[in-house]
Structure 1
Amino acid sequence: MKTTFIFFKNSILLFIFLCSNITLGQENQLKQIDSFLHESEKKHSHYNHLEELQIAKKANVLAKKIGDNQRIAESNYIISRALASLELPKESLSYIQKSLNQKYTQKNILLQAKFKEIKAYDFYVLSLKSQSSQELKSILKLLKNKTDTASARILARIHTNIANQYFDKNSIDSAFIYYRTAGNFFGKLNEKSAHNTIAEYYIALGNAFSQKKDFDSAFHYYQKSYDLKTKYKDPIIFMQYITFGNYYQDQKKYNVALDYYLKALQNIKEYSINITPFNSLNKNIADVYGALGDKEKQSLFENIYTNKESEIAATRSESMDYALSIIVDDKENKYETSEKKKYIWIFVGIVTLVLFFFFIYSVLRKNLKQKETIFSEVHGTLQEKEEIISQKTVETQELQLKVNEAYNEVCELAKNNDPNFYSRFLEVYPDFQKKLLEYSPGLRTSELILCAYTFLGFNIKDIADYTFKSINTVRNRKQNLRKKFLIPTEQDMGMWLRNVLAKPTGKEE
């Protein structure tokens, strides 16, 4: 009796020990995930978007491993944001759509709003400006009755983004309406915690006044942006320096502009900010030196700018390769899981069939009449299979018809210069953009759209008519593309593009 009691006591102690170890291990993993998320946010603030993506992906893998839906969603948000910053809107949209369909996100309105904010940015990059505007305004409806601080922070950003879109369209009066509303929301925030976003808002407001030629008001808001950063002893103030430099360069006060530009450059270096998004700073410095007559330094900074642009092109290609590999890895993992499930079902099916035929065999031995019945059932099954094969044939024919319909639909969108043309084109030909970027990573969206028109078989006159551009403009842009792709003079560009898409992998020899 005593021995039995000791055995049960030791078993209970062992169970408690194992449970505590499991709990402790999970807590350590949560801390590691949170550490990754914090580090990725830091990389974002320093514009190191590739590192932001890499670290967020680590957090995402760990979160999926332990099944933490909240951290899965949070890491997905950072991944989609990093992909957007790396100029991969399609891949970013893929993560966003997947996240918006998750139950955790559907229950969290703030997270939905943040995903939709990136979605709007991706649409804008893809020149789908109408869809971008609709997405931003849908966020306003989503958070309409929200009065909490987190919602106010998002609403302030959204109103600023809408204002910026009106600014880009030179609708300054409309822009000011949204800038003022954004200011009301910023007024509800804790100034210290939101000072970075507010400082960016002041710069945007200053730019709007500058566009109206109200330079005094513009300078007033540029100064407010700088004062806010220094008020909270924020050392990263290169954007404010660049803004002052631009202001004084426009005023033709080149010595003052140069001083601010050089301060911005020093601030970027001092705090290890990724200069890639701000390489135009080197070009501005070169222009100012040119205006001051210092040809040696003008040449120096022009070379720095040019070399950096080449480096950016190479890095962009590497970033795209890495980002795309993440998408591929996710698809492969999903495929492997699906394959495992398929093999399990096959095994279950085989076992079931073996048992079924064993049962049939046993019955057949007992009763010949039962055998005839089973034969009739098998015959019926064969008829069903023939019907299924016939149905599959019809479905295949319908699918071919749909492909033809998709081609005709894309052509109609192209002829109507529809803003949805290029996004629909990529749905029909999903590998088109990726393969062209392998040849020339620096292609702009407008160049990719021209390639799409050419791929569909439209000639220069057609493209000029449909896009409301002159024939010479279209001819020159196509000639530039031929040079970028190194297409021989005697080869038809449309045929070349179709051959590229038809190739399974690799570039043309």
Structure 2
Amino acid sequence: MKKLIVRILRMVILVIIVSCTQTSPYSQTEDFDQPLIEQNNEMNSSGNFEALVKLNGIYFKKAAKSGYEEGKGLCLLNIANVNSTEGNYERAHLLLDKAGESLKHSENSFHRAKFYDSYAHYYSHLKQYDKAVIYSDSALYALKKAPDSNLKKKLLPRIYINRGTYFAWKGQLGNSLKNFHKGNVLEKSAYSTCMIAQYHLYTNKLDSAGIYALRAEEMMNRQKTPDIEKLWIYYTIGYYNKEIRHSDEAEKMLKKALEMSVKTRLTYSFQIKDVYKALSELYKMKRDDEKSYYYLSRYLQEDNRLNESRFAAINKTTDSFISEAKKEADQRKNDLWIIGILSFVTLSVSGLYVRKKIQLLKYKKKSLKTETDTLKSRVYEKKLQEVIELAKKNDSSFLMKFKELNPEFIKNLLAINPDLENSELAFCALLKLHFTSKEIAEYTFVQHKSIQQKKYRIRKKLNIEGDQDIYDFFDRVGKNSNE
């Protein structure tokens, strides 16, 4: 009996020793996870990309040195998230997969939540909102199992807010608003309030949008708000004012949003295209065709960049699946027919998805191109009228403005005769605008006979045949694409 008691005591002591030596999955939270994530978020919010990469590089080495694999995974996630918002989707996917090797099966529930939330974030940028919601579900489930901490407190409301966005794009507006409110109750920030305003703008409830937009602005002015969140708030207030046709206030706020977009572009370029589009719509409303055209062009450039990157990532994912299927087929010859069917189904579904997206994009681009061409034409006509008025006033800036409008015309004239003087170029410009000799004489305060002599000299300098109509000649020189 005595021996039995001794054995039991030894076993208890051994269990205690083993349990004391085991490392908790949350042991690195305060020393590694929290400082890394907080500093990373701060740099991301301010657009300090170089410092962000450097920070994660330092922590990655630190994690590698101490054998903290999950720490390495967190560093990879941070860089992946920046690449997602920048539109570098292929690189983001590569980094996420690498991070997943360390985090997907982690015993640390916060790590798993962070991993799944990053994947949801990635798929939302690819506009694959079903997948975004699935990963967001996993993130929420994992995070609820994590012990309370500052990291959990900050991540939980953001998951709800992100889910609000995903559900809105899926058309599940009830779920969307519910998640936005859950996030706002937990966070009570200018940003979380702003996202509810965004929801009401999306559903065209302008009164409610105005209430939440005003609250968000007041909170932003009271609280310390990161630049990226200021960008969202300024954009929302600007867009709201555009919708209620308060154009001056809309312009002021959208310009502030644009400033924030430029400032944070290295870590968060995704929102800038929406700012461009809103500004284009605003200036169209204000009948400023030139500015409307400018911002619409910038929007199209940014949208095309993101779409190209998005489809490249989708195609790469499909190619990766086929590659893995082939490897599996080589290992299991008997399952070749299954792999073939799976590959066919995946290609078919992916193909249908991509074709559908391409068709929508083509329609969208066609519509936007028509609008762009119309604006471009109107801008050209407006500038042309300004140049004509300068010519009529014999204004000294006429030639400079004409060059801006028809750069190829002047370039081609100088290619024929590099010795042409500015006064001669200005005279050619007047002929290009189809002013008659009588009109040119009147506007330049010279006799009609002098104009005829100038025409003769210009013919000689430009080798214009005597039987060729001089106006027809200038019509052919540097023909403008807007004409």
Structure-1-length-normalised TM-score: 0.51
| Counterpart for residue 291 of structure 1 | 285
| Counterpart for residue 252 of structure 1 | 245
Matched, 1:280 2:274: yes
Cα gap change, 1:147/1:209 in structure 2, threshold over 3 Å: closer, same or farther?
same
| Counterpart for residue 194 of structure 2 | 203
Equivalences for 1:34-433 in 2 at 5 Å? 40-47=40-47, 52-53=52-53, 56-57=56-57, 59-61=59-61, 63-65=63-65, 67-69=67-69, 71-89=71-89, 91-102=91-102, 106-126=106-126, 128-144=128-144, 146-186=147-187, 198-234=189-225, 236=227, 237-268=230-261, 271=263, 273-274=265-266, 276-277=269-270, 278-302=272-296, 305=299, 399=332, 402=335, 405-413=338-346, 417=349, 421=350
The amino acid that maps onto 1:152 is K
Query: Could you tell me how far 1:184 is from its partner in structure 2?
Result: 3.4
- Secondary structure of 1:106's aligned partner: coil
- Secondary structure of 1:144's aligned partner: helix
| Counterpart for residue 365 of structure 1 | none
- Mapped to 2, the partners of 1:397 and 1:104 lie a distance apart of 27
Query: Could you tell me how far 1:260 is from its partner in structure 2?
Result: 1.7
Cα gap change, 1:171/1:299 in structure 2, threshold over 3 Å: closer, same or farther?
closer
- Secondary structure of 2:144's aligned partner: coil
Query: Could you tell me how far 1:111 is from its partner in structure 2?
Result: 1.6
Query: Could you tell me how far 1:202 is from its partner in structure 2?
Result: 1.2
Q: Deviations over 1:71-129 (max 9, x none)?
A: 42331231232333343556545544544443897132212111110122233445553
Q: Deviations over 1:418-471 (max 9, x none)?
A: xxx57xxxxxxxxxxxxxxxxxxxxxx95xx34xxxxxxxxxxxxxxxx7x9xx
Query: Could you tell me how far 1:168 is from its partner in structure 2?
Result: 1.5
- Mapped to 2, the partners of 1:63 and 1:139 lie a distance apart of 23
Kept after mapping to 1: 8 A contact 2:36/2:59? yes
Kept after mapping to 1: 8 A contact 2:72/2:102? no
Kept after mapping to 2: 8 A contact 1:36/1:58? no
Query: Could you tell me how far 1:240 is from its partner in structure 2?
Result: 1.8
Q: Deviations over 1:276-302 (max 9, x none)?
A: 331332333233222212234334444
Query: Could you tell me how far 1:313 is from its partner in structure 2?
Result: 7.0
Q: Deviations over 1:246-276 (max 9, x none)?
A: 111112332321122223334555x565473
Q: Deviations over 1:157-201 (max 9, x none)?
A: 2222222222222322222222333233326xxxxxxxxxx3222
RMSD: 4.5
User: Which blocks of at least 5 consecutive residues in structure 1 are unaligned?
Assistant: 1-30, 188-197, 325-394, 423-444, 451-466, 481-509
Cα gap change, 1:405/1:474 in structure 2, threshold over 3 Å: closer, same or farther?
farther
Query: Could you tell me how far 1:68 is from its partner in structure 2?
Result: 4.5
User: Which blocks of at least 5 consecutive residues in structure 2 are unaligned?
Assistant: 1-30, 317-327, 367-483
The amino acid that maps onto 1:245 is G
Query: Could you tell me how far 1:70 is from its partner in structure 2?
Result: 5.7
Kept after mapping to 1: 8 A contact 2:261/2:269? no
Query: Could you tell me how far 1:475 is from its partner in structure 2?
Result: 13
Cα gap change, 1:103/1:410 in structure 2, threshold over 3 Å: closer, same or farther?
closer
**Does 177-186 or 87-96 show the bigger shift?**
87-96
Cα gap change, 1:109/1:257 in structure 2, threshold over 3 Å: closer, same or farther?
same
| Counterpart for residue 333 of structure 1 | none
The amino acid that maps onto 1:81 is N
- Mapped to 2, the partners of 1:86 and 1:408 lie a distance apart of 35
Equivalences for 1:439-450 in 2 at 5 Å? 446=353, 449-450=354-355
Kept after mapping to 2: 8 A contact 1:33/1:63? no
Q: Deviations over 1:329-348 (max 9, x none)?
A: xxxxxxxxxxxxxxxxxxxx
Kept after mapping to 2: 8 A contact 1:37/1:55? no
The amino acid that maps onto 2:281 is D
The amino acid that maps onto 2:184 is G
- Mapped to 1, the partners of 2:48 and 2:103 lie a distance apart of 31
Cα gap change, 1:301/1:243 in structure 2, threshold over 3 Å: closer, same or farther?
same
Could you say which structure has the greater relative contact order, defined with CA pairs below 8 angstroms and 6 or more residues apart?
2
- Mapped to 1, the partners of 2:360 and 2:196 lie a distance apart of 37
Cα gap change, 1:262/1:80 in structure 2, threshold over 3 Å: closer, same or farther?
closer
The amino acid that maps onto 1:219 is G
- Mapped to 2, the partners of 1:296 and 1:475 lie a distance apart of 25
The amino acid that maps onto 1:220 is I
Query: Could you tell me how far 1:412 is from its partner in structure 2?
Result: 3.1
The amino acid that maps onto 2:192 is Y
Structure-2-length-normalised TM-score: 0.53
- Mapped to 2, the partners of 1:116 and 1:475 lie a distance apart of 29
The amino acid that maps onto 2:246 is K
- Mapped to 1, the partners of 2:176 and 2:138 lie a distance apart of 18
| Counterpart for residue 475 of structure 2 | none
Count, aligned residues: 315
Cα gap change, 1:68/1:398 in structure 2, threshold over 3 Å: closer, same or farther?
closer
Kept after mapping to 1: 8 A contact 2:104/2:112? no
- Mapped to 2, the partners of 1:33 and 1:151 lie a distance apart of 11
The amino acid that maps onto 2:186 is F
Query: Could you tell me how far 1:52 is from its partner in structure 2?
Result: 3.9
| Counterpart for residue 464 of structure 1 | none
Greater radius of gyration (CA): 2
- Mapped to 2, the partners of 1:403 and 1:134 lie a distance apart of 30
